[in-house]
Amino acid sequence: MSNVFRERVLEGKVAYITGGSSGICLGIAELFAEHGAAVAIQGRKQEKLAAAVGLLEAKGVRSIGYAADVRDYEATEKAIGDAAGRLGKIDILVCGAAGNFPAAVADMSAKGFKAVVDIDLFGTFNTCRAAYEHLRKPGASVIAISANHASHAYAWQAHVCAAKAGVDRLTQVLALEWGPAGVRCNIIAPGPVDGTEGMRRLAPTAEMREKVAKNVPLGRFAEIREVAEMALYLASDAAGYVTGAVFTIDGGSALIGFNLR
């Protein structure tokens, strides 16, 4: 895919990305690096973080990886503070750590439900709360990675639907509260995205992948790069008057609806 931004629009900026060692958020980190941003990423596995940092540094920017769980406020606060101390004020904060697995409510444990809500919703709160004092004011852009689950009910996805609905509303409250300080807060809601752990779990077979694609008006999965391009727009000055908005990137699938059963 060609780059819709012809220049390095994030030159000199600092980005902090949770869930940044794989999937959509690694794609966002890579695109931000290509556009000149120094990038700090947070994830749970040191080995994946090291590999991701290597990819980012190969693009000629400074990158740091932090092994910390977003459910742990103190660990996240320490990581963000260290990143700001080493790289400078945070211009872009991406909250992308997430969990998912298909399960009917009657078959789901309370622990399983809580794990997804804690990673998605509490993880977003922890990241934003810990980062606030380190955000550039005015000028910072906060981006939460949500999903269509926030506004549509999907069978076998009660935990994700509940968590993402909370992420959307939390982010919009932040847009209200942090707007006067010049901090913009927006939401990206992807549909089915190829090359992600989520889709490998939700559509593990060729038959299921075909079923998912048939429920997308554009007839295909998104590429990670397509989601990253939206994040780049929201992080750039081109979106300087955009806050509190949900950007759906799903090929039109929310217009149809889709359940896994």
pLDDT in tens, 92-133: 999 999 999 989 999 999 999 999 999 999 999 999 999 999
> Could you tell me where the beta strands, DSSP code E, fall in 13-73?
14-18, 38-43, 63-67
Across 50-78, average pLDDT? 97
Give domain status of residue 257, yes or no: no
Per the structure, the count of domains in the chain is: 1
Q: What is the pLDDT of residue 207?
A: 81
Give domain status of residue 165, yes or no: yes
Phi, psi of 183 (to 5 degrees): -105, 125
Handedness of CA 84, 234, 61, 26 (dihedral sign): positive
pLDDT in tens, 117-126: 999 999 999 9
Residue (of 60, 57, 61, 49) closest to 22 by Cα position: 49
Q: How far apart, in whole angstroms, are the C-alpha atoms of residue 19 and residue 95?
A: 7
Across 131-143, average pLDDT? 98
- How many other β-carbons are positioned within 10 Å of the β-carbon of residue 102? 17
Across 4-19, average pLDDT? 91
Here the CATH number for the domain that contains residue 41 is 3.40.50.720
Give domain status of residue 240, yes or no: yes
Percent of the chain surpassing pLDDT 90? 81
Q: What is the pLDDT of residue 13?
A: 98
Give domain status of residue 3, yes or no: no
